[in-house]
Amino acid sequence: MRVVQLTPGTGNFYCGACVRDNALAHELNALGCETLTVPLYLPMVTDEPADDGMQPILFGGLNVYLQEKIALFRHTPRWLDKLFDNPKLLRKLSDRAGMTSAKELGEMTLSSLKGMDGKQAKEIRHLVDWLKEYGHPDIVLLSNCLLSGLAKQIKAELGVPVLNTLQGEDGYLDSLGDPYSDQCWSALRHVANDVDLFIAVSPYYGETMKSRMSLPDHKVVAVYNGIKLDGYGPSHRPDNPPVLGYFARLYPAKGLDQLVDTFIRLKERKSIPGLKLKAGGTATPSDEKFIREQKMKLDAAGFLQDAEFVENLSHEDKIEFLKSLTVLSVPTAYAESFGLYVVEALASGVPVVQPAEGAFPDLIKETGGGLLFKPRDTEDHADTLEKLLSNVTLAQEMGERGRLAVNEKFTVRKMAEGMIEVFERVSAPGDHSIQAAAGV
C-alpha cells in the first residue's frame, strides 16, 4: 500500500503535529506501508530527521498568499511559482508572525476550504498533478481538517480514498474571529462530505469534532497518538530540590503564564522547600515578549533565580530535560485534543498534573500517571501539585505506572498499527462504512 501524507509545515519552530506526522511516516514505512510525507505551505520543522524524501513544498505559503491578494498571481506560469516555493525563502518569510497568525489567515483559510472554488485553485491543480507524477498513491492522508478543501479534486482525478486527521483544529478556527470563524466552520462542514474518513487523535477529540462538524458516527474513528520510545526511560526524579516542569510551546495558549502564577503561589506558601521551575519548548520571535513578561513576573516576586527557561531543544535534549523533572504540568487555556507532552513525560517516568478537560481525563485514566485539577483555577492547581511535590513516594509510583502504560498503549508502533488497520478497512472492496474506532 502506498500512502501520501500531506502535512503543513511551520517554517521556523517545532510543531507537535509535524513531530507526530513525521514519526508516523517513519513507523508506517518500517511496517511495510510505503508512506511519503509532503510538506505544504512552509518547510517542516521536526525534532528528528524529516521523513519527507526531500520532496518539494506544495501549496507554498507565499504562492497561497499572493494568489489570495492579487488576481494576477492566480494565472502566473509554474516556473515562476516554483521560485516562490524555495524553502530558504519560505523559512525567511515565516519569521514574520503574520504569515502564520490565525487572525491574519482568516481569508486564506476560508478560500482554501472552498477548494477549486477558492482563490488557490491553481495550487490545487499543481498538487494533484504532482500526486499523479508520484505514481498514484492508494490513499491520501490529510494532516488536519483545514486541508479538507483538497479532497474533492484529489478524489475526482485520482479516484482514491482521502482520509483526514483531526488534531486540534478547533482552537485555530475559533481564534479567527468574526466573520471568518463562523464562515470557516460552515465551509468545513460542507467540504467534510468529500472526505472518506476522519481519524481523531483521541476519542474525546473525535466526539468533539463530530459534534462541531455535524459528522455521522461512521465518518469518525480514533487512533491514539504514540511516540517513539528510543532514549526514553526512568527519570532522575529530582526531589532535593524538587523541579516543577513545563514542556510545550512557550506561549499563552499552553498556559505558561498560569504555571508561573501557580509556581509563585507555591513558593509563597513555603510548603515545598527549594522548589525550582523549568520551562522548555518551542519559542518563535512572536513569543519572546510573552516570555520576558513571565520572567519579569518571577523577578518581581523574588523567584527568578529559581526558574530556568530553555527554548527549541533537540530531540535528545528534550528527553534529558524531561528526565530532570519531578512533575510536569502544562495548564492549557483550552481543551487539548491530545497533549503529546503528557505521554513524553510519562515515558520518562515523570508524573503529570493537568486540567480536568479535553483529552487529559482519558489520558490520566488510561495511564494512572498523574492528577487532575480544576481548569484555570490557580489555587486548585497549586493544591494538586503540592500533593505530588510533597510526596516523593506517590510521585514515583505514578511516574512508573505511567511509564509502563505508555510503553504498552502509546507507542508510535501502536499508532501506526491502528492507522494501517484503518487504511485496510477503507481500501477493502465494498467497505464504505467504518462503524468502530480503531486502536483505542
Q: What is the pLDDT of residues 190-228, one digit of tens each?
A: 999 999 999 999 999 999 999 999 999 999 999 999 999
Give the position of cell 505558561: 256
Decide if 97 contacts 285 (C-beta within 8 A): yes
In this structure, what DSSP letter does residue 306 have? Answer: G
Q: What is the mean pLDDT of the chain?
A: 90
What share of the chain in percent tops pLDDT 90?
72
pLDDT tens digit sequence for 146-195:
999 999 999 999 999 999 999 999 998 998 888 899 999 999 999 999 99
> Could you tell me which residues come within 8 angstroms of residue 305 by beta carbon, excluding any fewer than 6 positions away?
none
At 437, is the pLDDT very low, low, confident or very high (cuts 50, 70, 90)? very low
Cα(326)–Cα(350) distance, integer angstroms: 6
Taking phi over 0 as left and psi of -120 to 50 as alpha, with beta for the rest, 159 belongs to left
Decide if 256 contacts 229 (C-beta within 8 A): no
> Could you tell me which residues come within 8 angstroms of residue 426 by beta carbon, excluding any fewer than 6 positions away?
139, 161, 163, 196, 197, 434
Decide if 34 contacts 5 (C-beta within 8 A): no
Of residues 274, 231, 275, the one with CA closest to residue 385: 275
pLDDT tens digit sequence for 390-420:
999 999 999 999 999 999 999 999 999 999 9
Cα(222)–Cα(440) distance, integer angstroms: 7
> What integer pLDDT is reported at residue 85 of this predicted model?
83
What three-state secondary structure class fits 73?
Answer: helix
> What integer pLDDT is reported at residue 79 of this predicted model?
85
In this structure, what DSSP letter does residue 55 have? Answer: P
Global pTM value: 0.90
Q: How far is CA 375 from CA 132, 263, 280, 433, in A?
A: 48, 16, 21, 37
Lowest average pLDDT, out of 13-27, 124-138, 163-177, 251-265, goes to 13-27
Grid cell of 59 as nine digits? 501549496
- Which run of H or of E encompasses 360? helix 360-367
At 435, is the pLDDT very low, low, confident or very high (cuts 50, 70, 90)? very low
What three-state secondary structure class fits 362?
Answer: helix
Cα(109)–Cα(112) distance, integer angstroms: 5
> What integer pLDDT is reported at residue 433 of this predicted model?
41
Lowest average pLDDT, out of 58-67, 240-249, 331-340, goes to 58-67
The yes-or-no verdict on residue 436 having pLDDT over 90 is: no
> What integer pLDDT is reported at residue 31 of this predicted model?
96
At 35, is the pLDDT very low, low, confident or very high (cuts 50, 70, 90)? very high
Domain with CATH 3.40.50.2000 in the chain: 2-227+413-427, 243-409
Torsion of CA 85, 87, 89, 95, to 10 degrees: 120
Cα(215)–Cα(196) distance, integer angstroms: 11
Residue 311, beta-bridge partner list: 281
CATH number for domain 2-227+413-427, candidates 3.40.50.300, 3.30.43.10, 3.40.50.1820, 3.40.50.2000: 3.40.50.2000
> What integer pLDDT is reported at residue 66 of this predicted model?
85
At 430, is the pLDDT very low, low, confident or very high (cuts 50, 70, 90)? low
What three-state secondary structure class fits 245?
Answer: strand
pLDDT tens digit sequence for 54-84:
578 888 888 888 888 888 888 888 888 888 8
Burial of 87 (0-12, 13-18, 19+ CB in 10 A): middle
Domain spanning 243-409: CATH superfamily? Glycogen Phosphorylase B; (3.40.50.2000)
